[in-house]
Every structure is written in structure tokens, then in C-alpha cells.
Amino acid sequence: MKTDSEMDDELRPEYLPGELKNGVRGKHYERYKAGTNLIKLDTDVAAAFPTEEAVNEALRQLIKKKEAATG
């Protein structure tokens, strides 16, 4: 088990101890439990779509084509 001094050494300099004292345990638990819609793109796919907007636009176009074909 780590001593208090070892634990103190793990705090990064950009985190000021005074800013951390008002944390709320479980603040984001419900949102975390609900899950996310994040997906990991394969490298070749990510290379074709450099931004989030590019991915969304391509998917919207695909959805429109599918709806037109089945609609």
C-alpha cells in the first residue's frame, strides 16, 4: 500500500489540490451507466473521414439513399 507521501506525488501539477476538494462522488454515474454511442473506426475508414462532421455527413447521405430505395 502506498504511503501518503507517495500518493501526494501522483497529483499532476496542473491539478491544484484546492480545486479538487469539492468533488461529488457519482456525479456522472447515471450517464455512464446509460452508455455511449462512441465507436472506433478502423484506420482506413478514419483516414477517409478527417472530421466528425465528415463522418456524420457521409452517414446521413447513406441513410437518405437507403430510405429512398426502400421508401
Q: Give the Cα separation of 58 and 52 in Å (integer).
A: 10
pLDDT at residue number 51: 92
- 28 belongs to a structural domain: no
* Domain membership of residue 57 as a residue range: 38-71
How confident is the model over 18-68, as pLDDT tens digits? Answer: 777 777 888 888 888 888 788 899 999 999 998 999 999 999 999 999 999
Q: Does residue 52 fall inside a structural domain?
A: yes
For residue 63, being part of any structural domain is answered with yes
Domain assignment present for residue 58? The answer is yes
Domain assignment present for residue 33? The answer is: no
d(CA 3, CA 11): 14
Instruction: Give the pLDDT confidence score for residue 18 in this predicted structure.
Output: 78
How many structural domains does the chain have?
1
The reply to whether 55 falls in a domain is yes
Record the cell numbers describing residue 23, joined without a space.
Answer: 468533488
How much is the pTM?
0.49
